[in-house]
Amino acid sequence: MTWGKIFRRGFTAVFIVIFLLSAAVVGATVKLYTATGEDYANEIESQDISKQRALNKAIKKATKEAGVYLKSISRTVDGELTDDDITAITSNSWELAGDPKYNREIKQVTDETTLIIWKATADVNVDDSEVQSWIKRDANEKLTIISQTRDAQKFSDENDKKIEDLREKYNRATSQGEKNKIRQQMDDLDRDFLANQKLEEGNKLYYAKNYDGAIKFYNEAIKIKPDFDWAYNNRGISYKNLGKDDLAIQDYSKAVELNPNNFKAYYNRGLIFYDKGQYKSAINDYDKAISINSNFFQAYNNRGEVYRLLGQFERAIEDFNNAILLNSNLEEAFTNRGFAYQCLNQYEKAIKDYTTAISLNPNSFEAYNNRGYTFYLMKKYDLGLKDCDKALELNPNSADCYDSRGCIYFGLKKYDKALADFNKALKLNPNLAETYFNRGKVYKMLGEDKKAQSDFDKAKEFGYEG
């Protein structure tokens, strides 16, 4: 295994965002769900906010009902989706069907306490084709959406609980000064509620891959609540997807400044440092994320990636082991650990991990490609060729896959086919140093010494010596 191959194959799908436009499921239907939510307010609270809280509860009830249906149909598509998957889909793909209906009721609890009860009835549409669209999404994109959904829901639940606690305190309050203090706290919680509503709207647009639109809502959330670390974190993710890494770093840094325990912001900033080749900074951020949340399997996996690129394969394997221990379904961790084993010439272990990765994700072209190349190193050319063909079937625009198959054809002494694959790889990516070297070897075998020397020289220009 050459160092050029090691470093080039180090970039796994952890850092590749693949945007797929998913076709609707044949026979897909948009189903209507109706639910009623209720909220109450005393005489000092904002009635407008209470109405919005009631509507928010109605929508969540409707989407939860939709989730039961989507989970059932997911079993007939590509395996049953997890509860996190279903919640992410329904929380971000619903649409209101018409205007909500409101009912207002006044209830006299005591001589001094009057409650205004708001009931909101909402009709919500959910398209069941979202199940198929979700299945086709990139694994890391799914994790991001699930994380955003979970964080927003947690913030909402905590806000609801705090409001209920304050209402009880207000009912027990005896002095006007105490009531005034509670009223200010309620105003702050109302502000937080409105900010989280904007955050969730931004998350819906992020789910739809409308990153510019998402940023506008995150901006509004920050305007309402300037210390909202999750709004900064999520806006940073959208900036990253738009290629605005410097703005993303600024937002992640602001998020951890506001909340030093926001481990996801450290992790996200580490991703960008990785992309920039600033490996020490990336490791520092992953270290920080893990120190805050020792169960954060993505951070272990990605830190392992950095150690692998630095040639610290044993340390990388240790991190991948931790990631797999925390999430045994993390296909990328198996693919990454397989490659670390491959770099240590432990080919049987590598094959085993790639095979596990494929069982977890049959569409992982990278796992097929890496297993195919490992078979090449083991001189099991027929098995390698089969895997590389499958990898190219899954991703016909992967230069790395063409390079791998070209190496196998070279091993089989099918030089014309090897040359065709290396040409295709370089057409897709003209900066592949090792592919120039590999093509040079083919030209050498074909007796075309000038072309061979030209390719060897080109490889050296890129820093590859062979």
Q: pLDDT digits over 441-457, tens only?
A: 999 999 999 999 999 99
For residue 38, the 8-state DSSP code is E
415-427: burial string, b at 16+ Cβ within 10 Å, e else: bebbbbbbebbbe
Assign residue 462 the CATH number of its domain. Answer: 1.25.40.10
Q: Is the pLDDT of residue 77 over 90?
A: no
Mean pLDDT of the chain: 91
Which helix (H) or strand (E) segment is 101 a member of? Answer: strand 101-108
Residue 166 near residue 179, CB atoms below 8 Å: no
Model confidence, pTM? 0.86
| Whether pLDDT at 187 is above 50 | yes
| Position 360 pLDDT exceeds 60 | yes
Domain count, the chain: 2
Query: What's the whole-number mean pLDDT along residues 351-362?
Result: 96
Residue 11 vs residue 159, higher pLDDT: 159
168-172, 206-210, 341-345: segment of lowest average pLDDT: 168-172
Taking residues 10-14, report their average pLDDT: 36
- Lowest mean pLDDT, pick from 23-37, 269-283, 312-326, 410-424: 23-37
pLDDT for 272 beyond 50:
yes
pLDDT band at 28 (very low <50, low <70, confident <90, very high): low
Q: Which residue has the higher pLDDT, 37 or 4?
A: 37
Give me the pLDDT at residue 13, please: 35
**Token pair 């007796």 is at which residue?**
447
Amino acid of residue 119: K
pLDDT score of 14: 34
Residue 407 has pLDDT above 50, yes or no: yes
Instruction: Say if residue 21's pLDDT is above 50.
Output: no
Q: Which of 114-118, 133-137, 177-181, 298-302: highest mean pLDDT?
A: 298-302
What is the length of the chain?
Answer: 466
- Tell me how far CA of residue 62 lies from CA of 66, 220, 289, in angstroms: 6, 26, 35
Is residue 350's pLDDT more than 60?
Answer: yes
- Does residue 52 register a pLDDT over 60? yes
**DSSP for 102-154, written as a single string:** EEEEEEE-SSS-EEEEEEEEEEEEEETTHHHHHHTS-HHHHHHHHHHHHHHHH
**Per-residue pLDDT averaged across 99-126, rounded?**
89
Angle (nearest 5°) at CA 22 between 18 and 27: 160
Q: Is residue 280 one of the residues assigned to a domain?
A: no
pLDDT at residue 1 greater than cutoff 80: no
Give domain status of residue 55, yes or no: yes
219 within 8 A of 235, measured Cβ to Cβ? yes
Strand partners, 118: 39, 104
Predicted confidence (pLDDT) at residue 2 exceeds the cutoff of 70: no
Per-residue pLDDT band at 12 (split at 50, 70, 90)? very low
Residue 221 near residue 199 (C-beta atoms within 8 A): yes
Q: How many CB atoms lie within 10 A of CB 19?
A: 9
State the Cα–Cα distance between residues 347 and 403, nearest whole angstrom. Answer: 19
Q: How confident is the model at residue 428 (pLDDT cuts 50, 70, 90)?
A: very high
Per-residue confidence (pLDDT) for residue 10, from 0 to 100: 40
Judge whether 237 lies within some domain. Answer: no
- pLDDT band of 421, cuts 50, 70, 90: very high
Residue 103 falls inside a structural domain: yes
* Cα torsion 408, 411, 417, 418: sign: positive
- With a CB cutoff of 8 Å and minimum separation 6, the contacts of 49 are 41, 190, 193, 194
278, amino acid identity: Q
Show which of 99, 116, 136 is a domain's final residue: 136
Q: For residue 8, what pLDDT is reported? A: 40
For 435, the domain range is: 362-466
End position of a domain, from candidates 117, 136, 155: 136
Is 426 inside a domain boundary? yes
Mean per-residue pLDDT, 367-385: 98
Helix extents (H) in 208-244? 211-224, 229-241
Q: What is the mean pLDDT of residues 302-320?
A: 97
Q: Is residue 66 part of a domain?
A: yes
Residue 9: pLDDT above 60? no
Percent of the chain with pLDDT over 90: 82
> Does residue 368 form part of some domain?
yes
Q: State the pLDDT at residue 25.
A: 39
**Collapsing DSSP states into helix, strand and coil, what is residue 37?**
strand
- How confident is the model at residue 78, as a pLDDT? 61
The answer, yes or no, to whether residue 113 has pLDDT greater than 90, is: no
Q: Flag whether pLDDT at 5 surpasses 80.
A: no
The answer as to whether 131 is a domain residue is: yes
6, pLDDT greater than 80: no
Last residue within a domain, chosen from 110, 136, 162? 136
Q: What confidence score (pLDDT) does residue 7 get?
A: 37
- pLDDT-based confidence at residue 73 (cuts at 50, 70, 90): confident
pLDDT at 79: 67
Per-residue model confidence (pLDDT) at position 463: 87
* pLDDT over threshold 60, residue 138: yes
Residue 136 has pLDDT above 50, yes or no: yes
